[in-house]
Amino acid sequence: MDDRDRPVRVHVGFPSPSIAGLSMDRWPDVARQCEALGVDTLWHSNERFYRQMWIRMTVSAMVTARLRIGGAVVEPYAEHPALAAQALATLAELSHGRAEMALGAGGSGFPMMGVRRTRSAVAIAEALRVIRPMLRGESVTLEGEVVHAYGARLHMPTPTGTALWVATRGERTLEMAAGLADGLVLATYAVAEDVRRVVSVVERGASTAGRRPADLRLMSRVDTCVHDDPVVAREGCRAMVAKLLWASYPDRRFVEQAGLSVPPDLESVIATRDYDALERISGLVPDELIDRFCWAGTPDEVGARVRAVLDATPVREVGFWILAAPGQTLSEAVTRVMTEVVPAISSPPDGTTRGAT
């Protein structure tokens, strides 16, 4: 079967700042709506210090029956991988095997906690070497460069079929994860040529590790804002791009590889590491950065951009991290993506139905 004939899996997530105003008593409605609209996996952001990820995942699991429940990203610095394994196994039991998790380098809230992010590719690899055997019911001892565990094991039934993803933009981490993870979240490349480039890195890493690249799940995860006015859609993404640049500072390789740069006045604010300043200066984010790292526009425009990625790469899982446009409710934003964009990406260029799950 040609990769392009395989069904497209649709994932939905919400960057934590985009749902900051959504109280916990309203979260069940979000989860139910995603399930009703046919979302495969609902991802819960782990940005500190917003509403806690594992608690929101638990609520989602309790009010749905089919929807898969994802958490991203779990990092190995502020949360020990053994604790992550404990939480994931508990949630998998509650949800009857619907829980998934993506590991990453993280970064939000680290300055507040005095946490330093070091050697992220090594740290994520070591976290996987603790979490995966623990989920198999094994006892784990690891004297790693970053992660340490001594006889760590779970005192509970262990889950089966729980996917462990790695979410990253870093090429070294991509290569490593291609040999260890079940899937890779390719974030946040919004144009086909960038996705092709990172997929080639993944394929190289899989081959080095003796794995078939086709056995890896690949998700293109992109911040998405859909509106009838493309200008308004871009405004919905501007603050999120500022946060993306803040989280990746001082690494600008992914920006430079796109032939772009961060404006000096924006970079100088980011360099202060004042996260709260980002909302005030988001207007400094130029449109070209939004267009490169977000899917923003009308339903037809966003659908065409996603289809370009699907047609040019082996990626068959799409992650819409949904942002509401100014004046748009979160419910409206989700509905527009699922009812106006997803049908377009589920049909190949010849007009036949590709299928989405």
The contacts of residue 114 (CB under 8 Å, 6+ apart) are: none
Q: Is the peptide bond before 188 cis (omega within 30 degrees of 0)?
A: yes
pLDDT 10s digits, 323-344? 999 999 999 999 999 999 999 9
Q: Which pLDDT value is given to residue 357?
A: 60
State the average pLDDT over residues 69-97.
Answer: 97
Q: Which pLDDT value is given to residue 239?
A: 93
CA dihedral 308, 311, 313, 316 (to 10 degrees): 100
- d(CA 2, CA 173) in angstroms, rounded, equals 28
User: Which one of 2.130.10.10, 3.20.20.30, 3.40.50.920, 1.10.3210.10 gives the CATH number of domain 3-231+293-345?
Assistant: 3.20.20.30
**8 A C-beta contact, residue 101 and residue 70:** yes
Q: Which pLDDT value is given to residue 354?
A: 47
pLDDT above 90: residue 278: no
pLDDT 10s digits, 289-327? 999 999 999 999 999 999 999 999 999 999 999 999 999
Q: Which pLDDT value is given to residue 279?
A: 82
pLDDT 10s digits, 162-220? 999 999 988 999 999 999 999 999 988 999 999 999 999 999 999 999 999 999 999 99
- d(CA 288, CA 67) in angstroms, rounded, equals 35
CA dihedral 140, 100, 311, 252 (to 10 degrees): -70
**What's the DSSP call for residue 190?**
-
Whole-Å CA distances, 288 to 83, 285, 294 = 40, 8, 10
Q: Which of 107, 54, 102 is nearest to 317 (CA)?
A: 102
Q: Domain ranges in the chain?
A: 3-231+293-345
Q: Which pLDDT value is given to residue 309?
A: 97
What are the backbone dihedrals phi and psi of residue 286, each rounded to the nearest 5 degrees, phi first?
A: -75, 155
Whole-Å CA distances, 90 to 49, 58, 132, 155 = 22, 9, 14, 11
**8 A C-beta contact, residue 5 and residue 354:** yes
Whole-Å CA distances, 99 to 237, 249, 309, 310 = 28, 31, 27, 26
- d(CA 310, CA 351) in angstroms, rounded, equals 15
Whole-Å CA distances, 167 to 44, 164, 175, 346 = 13, 10, 12, 24
The contacts of residue 303 (CB under 8 Å, 6+ apart) are: 340, 341, 344, 345
Q: What angle do CA 330, 333, 339 make, to 5 degrees?
A: 135
- d(CA 122, CA 144) in angstroms, rounded, equals 9
State the average pLDDT over residues 63-92.
Answer: 97
- d(CA 330, CA 308) in angstroms, rounded, equals 26
Rg of the chain on CA atoms, in Å: 19
The region, left, alpha or beta by phi > 0 then psi within -120 to 50, assigned to residue 156 is: beta
